[in-house]
A and B are shown apart, each in its own frame.
Chain A
């Protein structure tokens, strides 16, 4: 039926007329209409048939008018609603209004009517409402306010409940100055009532003092059972605990993390909220201070913050109740903490278990739960400081591996039992050790100062020296700790720990490889590249799995090969590894991101940085989308690399902003004199230098050099880099070539000493030559330029810019020697090379400047026109 919109409008009119007729008149009327409009026949018949064959609960205009009226106006004293007469409004909530009312036709009985706000009628909603009402009606318990009636009036649903004249429980306890055991017994009653509801598959979801009243007779009554949820989403009766998802108008002060997060609601939710209530009854305080906080902050607090232990909170109060603190400490603290765990599955299994522990306490019996609290709190606390903790990945790997061993052991066959038992013992000792280490770094034990990865590690190392565990345990731990230090770029510590591993025969294959990796990497960081590569290649890696360790070793190898100027080889390896990672793990994986970064670095081009910048941004995008990010430090590292590229690409403001962001992140993980800050300050100084922030730049370089010298030694390559940077600053910005010369010479000597005359040396040799020229040391300058020009011309991967730069410097020298024609030739070559190959980079500008000077000299000597930049550009 190909009808036009106009045809459809006609169908619509006819259709709406038809369906409003009494059912028995429809067929005849339909036939008549169809006869009138033959081209609409098919559509109209089909529409009407569809309409009649499907059940329909659409509200009529009359009903919606009634509901609008009720929604807006509310009910006043004396109004009639259903069979009840309203006495007064008691309160209103997100779900509706509550009125005190009485039935006017029978016995005078005061009731509370809750009229639910907005909902649209639909068939299933009504069915559920009925089902729910039946369950609630069956919920007969002395401590639960009874459901008397429920129904719908217009399109408004309502519940009628037993009216309880009482006081919220927290207020009641305070006003009557109840003793601790009295409060606990009241709490026990609440637990029994909630547990009873749970056994009827009803979860309260909105437990809070306002819903738990105590009558004048001292009887507890729970209100509002199961009705805190709008009807539309009330579940079917069978799977109450599975289907309740989401929250609407919850009370944050009495909400569990899963409610805040809109996750599935289970009985655990009530356990948690009862924990909050217990906290309140024990301390008269709220477990969390939420007053004045934004919704976002509330979310964070409820999801992440552990409540202060009740006994500790009491200690802080200005007027604590005498003796209470002592009574709370221990068992009651433990009960509250256990109920208030963030993960539902970690809490008490159910409310009965919670109630049982309260009974145990009152009867001076041992609790069901043991004091596993410290480890739990610690883990939680560590999770909050995601950065420091993420630095400890290696430790967690060991911990996980140890647990796995214990588990595996139970499955090993008899012959291997002895061997396995030894392993098991080692594993258990390792686990205990690590747990102890974390425990002692627990911020609550260390007076709340923020714990850094460094603190935890130091603690670990100390403990290792003091406890003197068996060699097997000790070696495994030393390896793990060394790896962590390596991750944190603390090479001294890493190396020193690695050297303490006395006997590698105890190590499993993974640990043995780790050890080699630690040693090779720390050698490489000190600039001993060849020995590092030799060491790495001396070990045959039979790495079956392409896991984290495999990729790390391969990356280290690539870096070393590149450090030896084997550029093409490094580039090819990087490409292969990237493809491998993509094939194995996909293009949105951690490994792919890291390998893309490696590839981007290897194909990095000083003269055109845009592709690298784009790659790095892609890497950052992938890393940021990982949840959880397995190694957040890699994200920071990528950001730092991006920052360097941005600087190279003249995007200084962006680079400096990124550096400030990074400094803040780093401070969470590293001590302020950590070598990572040296790297950061060096990069920052470079950006400052190039954007005319000379003073700040010198300051940054000096800070950087100080840390490098302290951590890596006066003669390390990294110290050399900062010296080069300072020299460049003196040379170009401060016009002090003498100071620059001294710094250049210090730095170049270090390059030669550490890795021979490789790329770095020659790259830095060129500005050094410039410096010599400014000091009129022409012979030395020429020697330096020739040496490096030769290197760049014969290097396997040509750096056009370096050649151009060298050519322009050589031209300088030639001008000085009076060989103007040769100089002119070199200049033209140099400029052409730059323009042909590169965009608008700082180097081009530098050469441009030189050209201007030379052009002037040439012009004076020969009075010839030197083509300027613009003409060449066309």
Chain B
């Protein structure tokens, strides 16, 4: 049952980026917004690779964001050498990276189709999308665009959606990263959720 132990004992060589990522996460969680871009850049190739596997291996163009986050954490983190104080912050950055990877992927897929049939998002689908990020056949690009719009109205609410949908983060985790109370996160979520659903009426 001790899966983590097994994994730790064989992962003796730290991922070369691990310490760097951990250090930057620390800076980021201390409020240094400058390092965010750097973090995203460091993590992008890892997550891109994992996502690539996922997309290749699944029949539909399904992406499982939670799986992505878990895999990314397992692969990027080195449990032995780094004390991951910053797991929540890791998840938050990972959410941003995953969003970017997904959007890049579907954008290139779309451009390959050369403007073929664009799938239309129904209310049902959006509801599905928000409640369950694992649903297949989401129009991720549309979600991305909607989030951009939302972030102009309410950046915090948009961040909550990003964290939840792309990073699978829980309310306490989001509260920790955003340094607000869980109930604030919850309110942001309620607002964002209804706002997003409303766009499709």
- Give me the interface of A with B, judged by CB distance under 8 Å: 3, 5, 8-9, 12, 15-16, 19, 46-48, 50-51, 54-61, 64-65, 67-68, 71, 90-95, 98, 118-120, 122-125, 155, 206, 210-211, 223-224, 230, 232-233, 245-253, 258, 261-264, 290-295, 298
- Give me the interface of B with A, judged by CB distance under 8 Å: 1-4, 6-7, 9-13, 15, 50, 53-54, 57-59, 62, 64, 66-67, 70-71, 74-75, 127, 131-132, 134, 152-154, 157, 164, 168-172, 175, 181-183, 186-187, 189-191, 193-195, 197-198, 201
User: In whole Å, how far is A674's beta carbon from the nearest beta carbon of chain B?
Assistant: 35
In the complex, the answer to whether A12 meets B154 with C-beta atoms within 8 Å is yes
A-side contacts of B195, CB under 8 Å = 47
User: In whole Å, how far is B108's beta carbon from the nearest beta carbon of chain A?
Assistant: 12
In the complex, the answer to whether B186 meets A58 with C-beta atoms within 8 Å is yes
Docked pose: A55 CA to B3 CA in angstroms: 37
In the complex, the answer to whether B131 meets A123 with C-beta atoms within 8 Å is yes
Q: Which of A120, A249, A292, A294 interacts with B170 by CB under 8 Å?
A: A120
Residue among A12, A247, A248 with the most chain B CB within 10 A? A12
Docked pose: A540 CA to B152 CA in angstroms: 69
In the complex, the answer to whether A120 meets B164 with C-beta atoms within 8 Å is yes
In the complex, the answer to whether A54 meets B127 with C-beta atoms within 8 Å is yes
Docked pose: A731 CA to B6 CA in angstroms: 66
User: In whole Å, how far is B150's beta carbon from the nearest beta carbon of chain A?
Assistant: 9
Select from chain A the residue with minimum beta-carbon distance to B73.
Answer: A248
Q: Which of B9, B54, B66 interacts with A262 by CB under 8 Å?
A: B54
Q: Which of B53, B127, B182 interacts with A61 by CB under 8 Å?
A: B182
Docked pose: A294 CA to B18 CA in angstroms: 13
In the complex, the answer to whether A249 meets B10 with C-beta atoms within 8 Å is no
User: In whole Å, how far is B14's beta carbon from the nearest beta carbon of chain A?
Assistant: 9
15 residue pairs from A and B, CB less than 8 Å apart: A15-B194, A19-B190, A47-B191, A47-B195, A47-B198, A48-B194, A64-B171, A91-B2, A98-B1, A120-B169, A211-B1, A224-B1, A249-B70, A258-B57, A295-B15
A-side contacts of B54, CB under 8 Å = 245-246, 262
B-side contacts of A55, CB under 8 Å = 131
Q: Which of B67, B131, B183 interacts with A245 by CB under 8 Å?
A: B67
Docked pose: A123 CA to B191 CA in angstroms: 19
Residue among B3, B62, B66, B195 with the most chain A CB within 10 A? B3
In the complex, the answer to whether A57 meets B7 with C-beta atoms within 8 Å is no
Q: Which of A92, A250, A253 interacts with B1 by CB under 8 Å?
A: A92
A-side contacts of B190, CB under 8 Å = 15-16, 19, 51, 58
In the complex, the answer to whether A233 meets B64 with C-beta atoms within 8 Å is yes
A-side contacts of B132, CB under 8 Å = 122-125
A-side contacts of B67, CB under 8 Å = 233, 245-248, 262
A-side contacts of B3, CB under 8 Å = 93-95, 206, 249-251
Select from chain B the residue with minimum beta-carbon distance to A290.
Answer: B10
User: In whole Å, how far is A65's beta carbon from the nearest beta carbon of chain B?
Assistant: 7
User: In whole Å, how far is A75's beta carbon from the nearest beta carbon of chain B?
Assistant: 16
In the complex, the answer to whether B182 meets A94 with C-beta atoms within 8 Å is no
In the complex, the answer to whether A50 meets B201 with C-beta atoms within 8 Å is yes
In the complex, the answer to whether A12 meets B10 with C-beta atoms within 8 Å is no
Q: Which of A3, A64, A122, A251 interacts with B6 by CB under 8 Å?
A: A251
In the complex, the answer to whether B153 meets A294 with C-beta atoms within 8 Å is no
A-side contacts of B201, CB under 8 Å = 46, 50
Count how many pairs of residues, one from A and one from B, have CB atoms less than 8 Å apart in the complex.
167
In the complex, the answer to whether A262 meets B154 with C-beta atoms within 8 Å is no
Q: Which of A51, A95, A155, A292 interacts with B10 by CB under 8 Å?
A: A292
In the complex, the answer to whether A46 meets B198 with C-beta atoms within 8 Å is yes
Docked pose: A50 CA to B194 CA in angstroms: 6
Docked pose: A61 CA to B154 CA in angstroms: 21
Select from chain B the residue with minimum beta-carbon distance to A66.
Answer: B172
In the complex, the answer to whether B57 meets A262 with C-beta atoms within 8 Å is yes
A-side contacts of B62, CB under 8 Å = 245
- Beyond contacts A8-B154, A264-B58, A290-B10: 20 other A-B pairs, Cβ-Cβ < 8 A, are A5-B152, A5-B153, A15-B191, A19-B190, A50-B201, A51-B193, A58-B186, A91-B1, A210-B1, A230-B70, A233-B134, A245-B57, A248-B70, A249-B3, A250-B3, A253-B10, A263-B53, A294-B12, A295-B74, A298-B10
User: In whole Å, how far is A774's beta carbon from the nearest beta carbon of chain B?
Assistant: 55
Select from chain B the residue with minimum beta-carbon distance to A261.
Answer: B53
User: In whole Å, how far is B1's beta carbon from the nearest beta carbon of chain A?
Assistant: 4
User: In whole Å, how far is B5's beta carbon from the nearest beta carbon of chain A?
Assistant: 9
Select from chain A the residue with minimum beta-carbon distance to B187.
Answer: A16
In the complex, the answer to whether B9 meets A12 with C-beta atoms within 8 Å is no
In the complex, the answer to whether B171 meets A293 with C-beta atoms within 8 Å is no
In the complex, the answer to whether B7 meets A251 with C-beta atoms within 8 Å is yes
User: In whole Å, how far is A290's beta carbon from the nearest beta carbon of chain B?
Assistant: 5
User: In whole Å, how far is B199's beta carbon from the nearest beta carbon of chain A?
Assistant: 9
In the complex, the answer to whether A262 meets B186 with C-beta atoms within 8 Å is no
Query: Given that A15-B194, A67-B170, A252-B7 are contacting pairs, would A264 and B189 also be in contact in the complex, using a CB cutoff of 8 Å?
Result: no
Q: Which of A48, A246, A252 interacts with B71 by CB under 8 Å?
A: A246
Select from chain A the residue with minimum beta-carbon distance to B131.
Answer: A122
Query: Given that A91-B1, A92-B2, A261-B57 are contacting pairs, would A47 and B12 also be in contact in the complex, using a CB cutoff of 8 Å?
Result: no
B-side contacts of A245, CB under 8 Å = 54, 57-58, 62, 64, 67
B-side contacts of A92, CB under 8 Å = 1-2, 4
Docked pose: A48 CA to B197 CA in angstroms: 11
Docked pose: A746 CA to B133 CA in angstroms: 74
Across the A-B interface, the 5 shortest Cβ-Cβ residue pairs = A263-B57, A246-B67, A91-B1, A61-B183, A68-B172
In the complex, the answer to whether B170 meets A93 with C-beta atoms within 8 Å is no
Docked pose: A722 CA to B123 CA in angstroms: 73
In the complex, the answer to whether A293 meets B2 with C-beta atoms within 8 Å is no
Select from chain B the residue with minimum beta-carbon distance to A95.
Answer: B3
A-side contacts of B58, CB under 8 Å = 245, 264
User: In whole Å, how far is A89's beta carbon from the nearest beta carbon of chain B?
Assistant: 11
Query: Given that A58-B190, A120-B164, A262-B53 are contacting pairs, would A252 and B10 also be in contact in the complex, using a CB cutoff of 8 Å?
Result: yes
Docked pose: A210 CA to B163 CA in angstroms: 35
User: In whole Å, how far is A167's beta carbon from the nearest beta carbon of chain B?
Assistant: 14
In the complex, the answer to whether B172 meets A124 with C-beta atoms within 8 Å is no
